[in-house]
Amino acid sequence: MDNDDDRVSCAPRIGCDLAEIEAVRESVAVFGERYLGRVYSMIERSQTSEAPERLAARFAGKEAVLKLLGVDGLQPRQVEIVADASGVPGVRLSAAAQASARAQGIGDIAISLSHEGGLALATAVALATRPLPGRTG
Amino acid sequence: MTDHADGDLAAIREALEKFGRLNRPLPEIADDDDLFAAGFTSHATVNVMLAIEDALAIEFPDELLNRTTFASITALANAAAQSRGSR
């Protein structure tokens, strides 16, 4: 018998989300600091200059990652969308979100953001590794 | 928990009316109807939560910020009562 129990599969995971830029603009106008503070980290606020279209892209990014992780009970603040020095967005997870990712064998998560025509779009992609149960035959 | 203060339910309905962006008229939505099936989005849940907090002078604790809390008007009323109790 071969060693099937040690085999590990890589399954692609994807999550996507759309956010209305006008809805974000309204949230900032109505709730201001309470909205910004409950949803975005300081670095996200700084990197977006709190521009509604860029915040909306971050929000969509957070939700895309939460969908990819597939776990209820994580909040937007537990996923950060942070650009590197060259402006490429990446994903930073809180300890709780990292634990969820690790439990599913999810390592790095790639993210892509866009906005156009009043909507912001994000897609998150990762590979999840899981040990396969033993096979017969 | 089944009995909710009329004020809580009214505040929740007002918050949904203003910020819920639902695809059905609110009067047609029963207290136990699925709000996500009525077009409730993740972004709208944030605004509705903040509006309810303002109206009822409460703060939803982090552990209640999940999809179940926002699933229906009844679920929101339960969460509001729980938030009040946790202060």
pLDDT tens sequence across A63-101: 999 999 987 777 888 999 999 999 999 999 999 999 999
Burial A114-137 (b: 16+ CB within 10 A, else e): ebeeebbbbbbbbebeeeeeeeee
CB-CB: which of A19, A34, A75 is closest to B43?
A: A19
pLDDT tens sequence across B27-69: 999 999 999 999 999 999 999 999 999 999 999 998 888 889 9
Chain B residue numbers with beta carbons less than 8 Å from the beta carbon of A32 are none
Among A67, A66, A61, A62, CA closest to A114: A61
Q: List Cα–Cα distances, B71 to A41, A76, B42, in angstroms.
A: 26, 18, 11
Q: Is residue A135 part of a domain?
A: no
Mean pLDDT of A102-107: 91
Q: How many domains does chain B have?
A: 1
Chain B residue numbers with beta carbons less than 8 Å from the beta carbon of A63 are 42-43
CB-CB: which of B43, B47, B67 is closest to A72?
A: B67
CATH number at residue B46: 1.10.1200.10
Q: How many domains does chain A have?
A: 1
Q: How confident is the model at residue A5 (pLDDT cuts 50, 70, 90)?
A: low
Q: Show the domain range for A35.
A: 8-130
Would you call A49 exposed, middle or buried from its count of C-beta atoms within 10 A (0-12, 13-18, 19+)?
exposed
Q: Show the domain range for B32.
A: 6-85
Does residue B61 belong to the interface with chain A, where contact is any CB pair within 8 Å? Answer: no
CB-CB: which of B50, B62, B68 is closest to A31?
A: B50
Residue of B nearest to A57 (CA): B43
